[in-house]
Every structure is written in C-alpha cells, then in structure tokens.
Structure 1
Amino acid sequence: MKIFEKRTAYYLIALLYAILFYQGYMIFLNPFFGYAGFEVNESRLTNYSFMIYSFALSILPIYLFRGVSTISAFICIFIFFLLYIPIQITFYIDYDGDDSYVAYLQFLYCFGMCLLFYADRVTFKTKIVIPSNIDFFKVLLIATILSTLYMIVKFGSSLKLVAFEDVYEQRSATSELGADVFTAYISSWLAYMFIPVCLAYGLFSKKKIYIIVGLLASIIIYMAFASKTALVFPFVIFIMYKTLKNRSLKSSFTFMGLGLIIIMTITLVLDFNSITALFWMRTIGNSGSLTLHYHYFFTDHPHTYFSHINIINFLSQSYPYPGKALGQAVGNYYWGDEMNANANFWATDGIAAVGDLGIVVSSVILFIIFIFFNRISKNYNLLFLILTLIPYIISVLNTSLFSSLFTGGALFLFLILMFNTSINNPYINENPNNNRG
C-alpha cells in the first residue's frame, strides 16, 4: 500500500510539473522568446485527445522508477524533470508536423526514458573490482596539483579574478591560450573530475588538504576561463554534503519535483524578469526547443553517423560539417553565426547521429553506461558518488554522452573506482542504509 501511495504521489508531482511547464511555455516562453524558437502550433492545441496522450506519456515512465538506490536512478530524476518532460510537452505544443509522426516521436522518447529508469534493475553477480594497494585518491590529488600548476604557467599574467559581469571579456581574452587540445583536456578534467573528487573526498575523509587543493584549483579555473560553473561547484558540493550526509536519499524525486514546481509557480506569479528568463529559458525550456530544432535540422541535412565524436571522425574522416562543432552547425543555421546550440544526448547521439531511431540507440547506450556505473559504484557511498558526478549530471543534459564521458572525465573516474576497494577507502564505503523510496 505504501508503494502504491508513493507512486501515486510521484505521478501527481510529475503531472503538476508538466501542466506548469505547459502554462509557462504558453504565457512566458512563447510571448517573450517566440523569436528564439519557442513557437506554438495553434492547430494542435485544440486536439484534446493528443493533449491527453502527451501528458500521459510524460508521466508514464514513473511506473519503472523504484526509488534512489543507485547512481543511475538519481541521474534519471534530473533527466526526467529537466529533459524528458520539457521535450514531450514542447513537441506537443510546437512541432510543425503530422500529429501521428509527432506521437511516434513522443513514444520513442517515452521508451527511452523507461529504459533508463529500468537500468537499476539489471544486476550482475560478478564484481567489477580490481584489487589494488594503490591509493588512487592520492594520485588524483597529485594530478589536481599538477594540472593547476600547468594552468598557472600556461595562462600566466592572463589569470584574472573578474566580476561576473566581466566574464565574457575574460573568456575572449584567454580563448586562444586554451584552444590547444592538451590544454582543453587538462582544463576540462580539472574542472569536471579532479576538483569535484578532491572536494567530495576531502569532506568525507576530513582531510583538509583535498579541500584546499580543490578550492584553489576552482579559483584558478575561474581566473583562466571565467567559468562561473567551476567557481560555484565547491559551494554546491559543500551545501549538498551538509544537507544530505545524515539523511536518506529516498525523497530525492519528491524534493526535486516539488522544488521545481515551487520555483515555476513563483517565477510565473511574480513580475517577469531576468531570473524568470534564466530559469524558464535556460534551465528547463531550452532542452525541449533545442531537441525539436535538431529534429528539424536533420530532416534535410546529413546525419553524422557518430562522426561528431572526435575519435570516430579521426578514423573515418567523415564528419559532414568540417570546421564547426555539431552545436555550431545547428545554431548557425537557426540563430546566427555566434550561436553554439549544444544539446542533450538524445539530440546529439540520437537524432544527429542516425535520425529518429537514434532516440532508442542513444537511450540504449546510456542504459549500458548506467549498468556499468551501478555495478562499479555498488560498494561506495551514494552521496559521495553524487557529489563527484554533479558536473557529469549537468553535462549529460546538455552535451553528447561521449563528450560527457571523456571530456568530462566520468569514464576515468569510474575506472579509478574499480581499483579502490572499501578496504583502501573506508571513508567512502557504502553504508547499509536503504535509500529506496
């Protein structure tokens, strides 16, 4: 009975979120940002059976959600609220095409989301652990120090601690210094893997050296690239650690859903301002609109067949948009020469790669990745993993899976976790608390 009541609550939260997204699209996104692609297909709004179908599919995947017992389940909550529901509702409101075709696309996305929620049910008896006496977290600490020193030497006098309103000027000033492949990878791994791991491990193990190194590295990254995200990471990690360290994660779905609903309501009720625009357009609106425009673009432009992945293009030399990243090819076509329309894995590794069926293909790829992550992380504290993967969670909502794995360093982190048994790392050993709910 409790499971039924909890799932009913999840359905109600998701439905309310979808309805509010619909309202926000109609009264804010379309009137204020229709010129940027948030348009409305007026004829479809009177098709109430299609509306019911769209909202039903928006909440259907919750049937396979079993609570937060794995890292994949936690990531899926973000995908569900910030990516999946906006895509479903945006396609209903905006997609300029035959209703049956749009319904088909919505079904494919629903299948993909269901598959991702199902990942935590796949288990293997074989442990993915390689015994080792090496403390790889010390290795990561050294790597963080060396990477930070490299950034200091590389950027030298160009390092500046600028105010937020001057970030674009600083980025322009240092863009050429960070353009080479080596610096690009070092800076990316430093920001998205080394720093979060140092901070999270330092908090769990109470080793201040990791926290100090992580904080200093965050400041250097900000001074080099004016990356506000890198500067904010330490505060987010610290707040999440203090808030969640003694609590079960079983309420994550409810907490995030109700939190978003409250923000949506407040921003729509109060006068529309820059905060409303930042939240509605950049945080929850863009995912649906960009995915829709990727569909439009690749109906009459060549698919990449995964050549947008650097290593595949290196071998095949078949990328159809030379000189432009995938986001630039789409962004330049719809919004101008300065637009880089980075989009989620369904758009980049799915639609751009092989077309409509790519939605299923990219979902299967992430499903396999989730199984791999879940198995390796089984013996680790779930909150520790969440803190280290905050950048990956953000990245997977906005870029290619492969970029998130390699450039963001998530793959290397989990390979390292394979070597770190609970004996070597008692600070991050999984506790016996059951987080499902």
Structure 2
Amino acid sequence: MVEIIRMQLNMPFTGRCILFFSLLAYASSIHFSHMSFLVDQHNAPFYNPGTLDFFQGAVLLAFIALAAVVLPLNLKNVSSVFLVIIFSFLYMPIVAITMGNTVDLSLSQLMIVLVVSVSFLVLAVASKIFPGFGFSKDSFSVGKRLLHVLLGVWFVLLVVFIYEFYSVMRLSGLGEVYVQREVGQAKTLIEGYLQLYFGYFFSVVLFSFGVFYRNWLAILAGLVGCVLLYSVTAERTVFMLPALVLCIYIVASSSRNLGFWLPVFYFLCAFLFLLVSLFYKESEFFYQLGFYSLVRVVAIPGVFFEQYYNFFSSVGYTNYSHVSGLNLLLSPDNYFQADPLYPQLGKIVARDVHRIESNSNASFLATDGAAAFGFLGVLLVTFLLAFYLLMIDFLSRKWPLALISPAMAPLAFILTNGSFFTVLLSFGGLLWLVILALTSRKIVFSAGFLLRG
C-alpha cells in the first residue's frame, strides 16, 4: 500500500519530466528547421539564419521549463484545450523562432519572450479556475436537441450558400488557390458572414456534435459544408478543422490524460519537422509537407509576432481602431490615417514589410496586441481572452468535455492566425456565449430532475 501511494505521488513529477523532454524535442526541431528549411524559403516571410548562443539557449530552456510546469496534465475544461493549442502553435513558435532569428539577442527580443511568458501564465491561471463536471452522453439531452437545431439551420444555410455562390464554385488545386480566392471573395458584408458562419461555425460544430453522438448525417453534413466552402474561398484551413475536432475528441474521450497525449504529440511533431529538414531538398513530398505543416501552422505565427512588433512600434499603433465599433471612438496613429488599405493590417504588413501584394494575417497577439498598442496591447488582449475563457468555462462546466472541447477547439486554432475580435464576431465566439447562456438554465433544470429521480 505504501508503495502504491508513493508511486501515485511521483506520477505528476514523472509526467512533468516527460513533458519537459518532449517540449525540448519540439522546440529543438523548430530551431533545427529554422536553420535549414525555413531559412531556405524563398517566399515571405523571410527567416534570418541566426544561431542560439548560451544565453539564448538558456532563455529558451527557461521558457520550456515554465511550460512543463504549468501546462495541464488533465483535460478539465474548455480553456485547457485553448491553452494547449495556443501554446503549441503560437507561444512556443514565437519564443523558439525569436531566439533563433538573430545572432545577437536584442533587448526587444528579450522583452518579447518576457511578455509572451506573462501572457501564457495569465491564460494558464485562468484555465485553473472553473473545472468542468459534465453529464454523460446519455443524460445530456440538451446536446441532442441542439444537434437537431444545428442540422436545421445548416440545411437552410446550405440552400442560401449554394444560391449565392454556385456560379464561382470550383475545387481548385493547390497551385490555383489564390486565383480562386479572388474569384470567391465576398462582395458584401452579408456574403462574408455567410461564408464564415456556414463553413467555419455551423459545418465544423455540426461535425463535432456528429462525432460525439455518432450521428452520420451530421458528420457528412459537416464535411460537405467544409468542401463547399473550399470550393468558393479555397481556404485550406477549413480541412484542418475537422481533423483537429477529431483529435480533440479522441483525447477528451480517452481514458488516458493529457500527460500521455501531449508528449506523444510533441515527439511526433519533432520527428516530422526533423524529416522535413533533412529531406526537403531531395523530396518534393517532404518539401510540400513542410510548407503546409511546419511553415503555415507553426513558423508563420511564430515569426509574424516579432515582425508585427518591429513594424508597428516603429511607424505607429492602431490604438484598437482596427476593431469594428471601436473605430468610431478611436483613431490610429498618423502613419495609417490616409492609408487606403487600413484597417486591413495583414495587407499593410505584406506591402510594407514583406514587399508583396498579399495578406499577411497574424495571431491575436500580433494584431490585437503588438499592432494595437505594443507590449501593453499584448497584455490587454490576453486579459480579454482570459475573461472570455472564464465565461466559457463557467457556462459550460456541466457540458460533457468530449462534446464542448472539440466543438470549440477550432476557435483556439484560428486565434493563432487571427484577431481575437474577429473570432468573436466572425467565427462564432460570441454566438457560443449566447448558446451556452441559453442552454445553461435547461441544464440546471435537467440536473435537478436527475437528482430528484
């Protein structure tokens, strides 16, 4: 009995150690890829061929140790999923690439790591406050009724979507996506919201509910919605979201905890990035695999933060006037006031930093943080996100984690390459709050009924 107790006490420490070494492998693979595959890229953004000296390595190691201590080993609420996704695809890439993007570490780069670390800690603390204690699948009747509502709304939107965009629908190859994006670009605000909510919200959420309830009609409808959106906008991200939903569902419904799944994920990513870096010159397959996994998902969110900070801190800030509604009260600094592209920050950065005509979208830390108000902006938007997650955790604490976590996980992924305010308005962040608030009273009533029974 004493041995069993001692083993249980040692398990968290052992789990933290395994997580530390997996994070070390993940960060090292990003840096190794940075020095080879990423530096060899000929498309913007360009990566500097820096190397880690002793001090830079120590800073990176300290951040890895911090992450190994505060990352959750158990999935307890929605914010735990947000924390893991944002850390994996934003915080860790920012630190790893910033440390390796220069020969001599500057004060601003050191401040980037410090501010990012504080932002990460704020979200980590917020994720501990409201743990969930959801119902089982069989007793969660609210979810089944919501599934039927989602299906009904989806079919209505399907008819409208096809009617509006049938003339431009085309399944484009990887080399034709930018042409199709121009053709399928929304002409009005209503068309834009129709594209986003049909594809990124209702289709993806419906797929998630279908997986949880084993409803094949919902699964098929969700996948069809993603394909239809791609046929109009040629956005490849829409295909990644069902895969993300499925992975989070497997983790949330598994008998194993995050302490098992996170090291598996980080070691697999490290192995993948290592293969890409070693064989991308000899194999077109590994080059394309590296571009769509390493560059698009990890490296660009990592390098854009520093580039956004350097650019906006030198020319001026948006002062949050890039946010719809706030622009009625606030105005940007002089550099942007006569710019015809403003408030399209991604297009401005592409033009003035990368010297190309494109859209260099970046994460919420870059757009709503560094671009809005520098390092202070990073802290402000972090607290806003933390408050949002606290509300989500509180309202969803009785939902089955295997249902609500996969359904909301795409929002976390979009935050790694999009604005927090855009996620709220255009990708369903606020709509989720409304849904959870409206269903919370029914869930409490159901809980009381079950207790009396």
The answer to whether 1:419 aligns with 2:438 is yes
Residues 259-310 of structure 1, C-alpha deviations (whole Å, 9 max, x = no match): 2112122222334323233333222211221111111101222211111111
User: Aligned equivalents of 1:402 and 1:155: distance in 2?
Assistant: 26
| Mapped contact 1:108–1:359 kept (Cα < 8 A) | yes
Partner of 2:301: helix, strand, or coil?
Answer: helix
Name the structure 1 match of 2:201. Answer: 193
Q: 1:189: Cα distance to partner?
A: 1.0
User: Aligned equivalents of 1:154 and 1:354: distance in 2?
Assistant: 39
Q: 1:9: Cα distance to partner?
A: 1.2
Equivalent position to 1:392, from 402, 411, 422: 411
| Mapped contact 2:32–2:274 kept (Cα < 8 A) | no
The answer to whether 1:369 aligns with 2:393 is no
Q: 1:53: Cα distance to partner?
A: 2.2
The answer to whether 1:301 aligns with 2:315 is yes
The answer to whether 1:154 aligns with 2:161 is no
Q: 1:212: Cα distance to partner?
A: 4.0
Name the structure 2 match of 1:215. Answer: 223
Name the structure 2 match of 1:143. Answer: 153
| Mapped contact 1:79–1:397 kept (Cα < 8 A) | yes
Residues 98-134 of structure 1, C-alpha deviations (whole Å, 9 max, x = no match): 6334323211111111121222222399x9xxx9999
Q: 1:91: Cα distance to partner?
A: 2.0
Name the structure 1 match of 2:265. Answer: 256
Judged with a 3 Å threshold, the aligned counterparts in structure 2 of structure 1 residues 160 and 379 are, in CA distance, closer, same or farther, namely: same
| Mapped contact 1:133–1:424 kept (Cα < 8 A) | no
User: Aligned equivalents of 1:6 and 1:85: distance in 2?
Assistant: 19
Name the structure 1 match of 2:69. Answer: 63
Partner of 2:318: helix, strand, or coil?
Answer: coil
Name the structure 2 match of 1:73. Answer: 80
User: Aligned equivalents of 1:304 and 1:260: distance in 2?
Assistant: 36
Partner of 1:198: helix, strand, or coil?
Answer: helix
Task: Give the counterpart letter for 1:90 in structure 2.
Answer: I
Task: Give the counterpart letter for 1:373 in structure 2.
Answer: I
User: Aligned equivalents of 2:422 and 2:269: distance in 1?
Assistant: 27
Q: 1:228: Cα distance to partner?
A: 3.3
Name the structure 1 match of 2:181. Answer: 171
Judged with a 3 Å threshold, the aligned counterparts in structure 2 of structure 1 residues 218 and 41 are, in CA distance, closer, same or farther, namely: closer
The answer to whether 1:3 aligns with 2:3 is no
Task: Give the counterpart letter for 1:277 in structure 2.
Answer: F
The share of aligned pairs that are identical, in percent, is 20
Unaligned runs of 5+ in 2: 1-9, 135-140, 282-286, 446-453
| Mapped contact 2:91–2:116 kept (Cα < 8 A) | yes
Most deviating of 371-380 and 62-71: 62-71
| Mapped contact 1:147–1:187 kept (Cα < 8 A) | no
Judged with a 3 Å threshold, the aligned counterparts in structure 2 of structure 1 residues 15 and 383 are, in CA distance, closer, same or farther, namely: same
Residues 33-69 of structure 1, C-alpha deviations (whole Å, 9 max, x = no match): 5974201457xx44x2343123212431332223221
| Mapped contact 1:346–1:362 kept (Cα < 8 A) | yes
Partner of 1:37: helix, strand, or coil?
Answer: coil
Equivalent position to 2:303, from 283, 286, 289: 289
Root-mean-square deviation (Å):
3.1
Most deviating of 60-69 and 189-198: 60-69
Partner of 1:222: helix, strand, or coil?
Answer: helix
The answer to whether 1:332 aligns with 2:340 is no
| Mapped contact 1:196–1:387 kept (Cα < 8 A) | no
Judged with a 3 Å threshold, the aligned counterparts in structure 2 of structure 1 residues 49 and 159 are, in CA distance, closer, same or farther, namely: closer
Alignment of 1:338-349 (within 5 A): 338-349=357-368
TM-score (norm 2): 0.82
Q: How many residues align?
A: 417
User: Aligned equivalents of 1:257 and 1:53: distance in 2?
Assistant: 20
Judged with a 3 Å threshold, the aligned counterparts in structure 2 of structure 1 residues 295 and 64 are, in CA distance, closer, same or farther, namely: same
Name the structure 2 match of 1:433. Answer: none
Most deviating of 413-422 and 81-90: 413-422
The answer to whether 1:356 aligns with 2:364 is no
Judged with a 3 Å threshold, the aligned counterparts in structure 2 of structure 1 residues 111 and 366 are, in CA distance, closer, same or farther, namely: same
| Mapped contact 1:122–1:371 kept (Cα < 8 A) | yes
Partner of 2:314: helix, strand, or coil?
Answer: coil
Residues 206-255 of structure 1, C-alpha deviations (whole Å, 9 max, x = no match): 44443343333333323322333335544654576568645444333223
Equivalent position to 1:183, from 182, 191, 194: 191
Partner of 1:379: helix, strand, or coil?
Answer: coil
The answer to whether 1:230 aligns with 2:238 is yes
Equivalent position to 1:378, from 387, 397, 418: 397
| Mapped contact 1:170–1:225 kept (Cα < 8 A) | yes
User: Aligned equivalents of 2:374 and 2:307: distance in 1?
Assistant: 13
User: Aligned equivalents of 1:373 and 1:357: distance in 2?
Assistant: 25
Name the structure 2 match of 1:19. Answer: 28
Partner of 1:418: helix, strand, or coil?
Answer: helix
User: Aligned equivalents of 2:444 and 2:264: distance in 1?
Assistant: 30
User: Aligned equivalents of 2:264 and 2:402: distance in 1?
Assistant: 15
| Mapped contact 2:77–2:131 kept (Cα < 8 A) | no
